[in-house]
Amino acid sequence: MKTLQKKLKSGIIWGMVLFGSIQWSMAQRAALVSIDLRGMAGIDSSMIAQIARTEASKVVSFEMMDRYDIEEILRQKNTTNEPCYSKTCLVNQGKILGAQIMITGTVERLGNKISVNLREISVNEDKITKTYVEEYLYLPSELNRIFRVSFNSMYGKTIDGVELKSLTDPTYLPGGSNNPESIILKTAGPRFGFTGFTGRAAEYIQRPKADGGLEGIPVMFQFGYQFEKQYLNEGNFQGLLEFIPMITGADQGQFIPSFSLLNGFRSQKTGLEIAFGPSFSFSKVAEGYTDSSGAWKFAYFAPAPYQLEERLDSRGTTRLNPSFIIGVGKTFKKGRMNMPVNAWVRPSKSSTQFGVSWGFNVQKAKVKAVENFR
């Protein structure tokens, strides 16, 4: 019986302690009056203090005082609302406000970084009870996310790893909102290269002109231009639409136009790329038949028992030939110079065309960073 009474008494005591602790925690009032800004030209300090106050209220277990309550109490106490950053000043200000916790900090630009230094001060104990220091990318427009991560870290809350990386790693989202001054990889520019033909296409190119051929070599020079439009930029991954008009055969006195519309995917970090899509070329096609000796006869009708057929022939009519092309490549970077090198293939039933190309471009300017935060 005595053992039961002791356990009951002990349980009551611990319950009262726990209840008192909860009540004390619930009664804790915190205030964030100001944030010290250094080297952050064009940014309003009162706006940043409000952003910090809002993000802190989402994390701390204290009752965060409202901006207007702080201003009203200080006005009634005839106390100026001047910036206050030292521990002594903040403790005195906390007593005036009736706050047990004062939160303050410094946000300073250090080159292309933002240094965040936060402090929690106990008014009753007259000491700093928590601190937090971290460097982020210089992203003034992302200060709300920077404070969110900082307060979560300071109070031991779960942090979104992706969000933290996007605010601290300059290679995580090149050219994106987390890294606006980085150069986005672009390979639009002139293209040069060689293409080879097999099958019926190679036979047509080598065939004598008197027999409707080109009397050439089935390897030709190409030149053109690649236009590209980025529709996706996520991390190091780019999604692209590419339009590539080309002229083939100028080295052999030929003018063979073609154009391709490709969907491409590229890594900004490695420069590796794969692209595929429809391609269209222009060629001359004639009708005729193959006689008993195996010779092809140019004709508009075939006598019995022969059948009319089509083939590539310089004496025929020009047609648009659709096909499918797939290519791979890598962009080599030297400073702001980009040098893409690509290999591609255009397969078909009767012949296959393949080639290699290279090009260059120069990025003239970086994307301008956001300098002001309103």
Average pLDDT over residues 55-77: 87
Establish if 193 belongs to a structural domain. Answer: yes
Average of per-residue pLDDT values in the chain: 84
Q: Are residues 219 and 358 in the same domain?
A: yes
CB 191 within 8 A of CB 224: yes
What's the CA gap between 47 and 30, in Å, rounded? 19
Q: Look up residue 220 and give its amino acid.
A: M
Q: Which structure tokens are listed for 62?
A: 């204290």
Residues 199 and 322 grouped into a single domain: yes
Rounded to 5°, the CA angle 182-187-189 comes to 130
Residues 34 and 127 in one domain: yes
Q: Is residue 115 part of a domain?
A: yes
CATH (domain of 82): 3.40.50.10610
- For residue 300, give the 3-state DSSP assignment: coil
Do 217 and 93 lie in one domain? The reply is no
Same domain, yes or no, for 282 and 151?
Answer: no
Over range 58-68, report the average pLDDT.
88
Are residues 162 and 194 both part of a single domain? no
Residue 372 is predicted with a pLDDT of: 41
Domain end (from 100, 135, 168): 168
Q: Please count the structural domains in the chain.
A: 2
Domain of residue 97 covers 29-168
pLDDT number for residue 22: 47
- Name which of 23-27, 233-237, 351-355 the model is least confident about: 23-27
- Domain with residue 218: its CATH number is 2.40.160.20
Own/partner long-range contacts of 1-4 (Cβ < 8 Å, ≥24 apart):
none
Q: Percent of the chain scored above 70 by pLDDT?
A: 84
Higher-pLDDT residue of 231 and 242 is 242
Q: Is 14 a domain residue?
A: no
Tell me what pLDDT residue 23 has: 44
Number of Cβ atoms within 10 Å of the Cβ of 251: 14
pTM of the model as a whole: 0.53
Tokens 């025929």 identify what position?
Answer: 316
**Residue 133 belongs to some domain of the structure:** yes
Q: Is the dihedral of CA 72, 52, 54, 27 positive or negative?
A: negative
Judge if 195 and 145 occupy the same domain: no
**Do residues 226 and 331 share a domain?**
yes
**Token pair for 118:** 């936060």
In this structure, the answer to whether residues 257 and 350 fall within a common structural domain is yes
Question: How does pLDDT run across 299-351, given as a tens digit for each residue?
Answer: 777 788 888 888 899 888 999 999 999 999 998 887 778 899 999 999 988 88
Instruction: Specify the pLDDT at position 263.
Output: 94
pLDDT of residue 320: 92
pLDDT tier at 206, thresholds 50, 70, 90: very high
If asked whether residues 307 and 237 sit together in one domain, one would say yes
Residue-wise pLDDT tens digits, 102-112: 999 999 999 88
